[in-house]
A = this chain, B = another copy of it.
């Protein structure tokens, strides 16, 4: 494994139903993680991109959350349907997906 050009971190944190903080898990992050892993595999991008699931990334209220480095941007409320665009536009073309960026107060 070589150092990737871009590294995607996808929250997979879950908490029990009724937990005051909520969680990305309660908002469907499992299928977002799965879709990132699937497209990473389907596109065979192992040398250009790394994809890693994570524990809590912080702002649970805007989850499912995704952080991408080296840019250091956070996308919020990410759905399975957004993953293809994140690959095409950001990971492969270097353009941020503006509509998914969380606000500056959050990240």
Contacts and interface: CB of A to CB of B under 8 A. Distances in A.
Interface string A57-73: 11100000001011010
A1 B52 contact: no
Give the copy number: 2
Q: Name A's interface SS.
A: loop
Given A7-B67, A54-B54, 10 more contacts: A1-B58, A1-B107, A7-B72, A9-B9, A9-B54, A50-B58, A52-B56, A53-B54, A69-B72, A70-B72
Contacts of A55: 12, 52-54
In the A-B complex, the 3 residue pairs with the smallest Cβ-Cβ separation, listed nearest first, are: A69-B69, A53-B55, A1-B58
A70 B1 CA distance: 19
Nearest to A37: B55
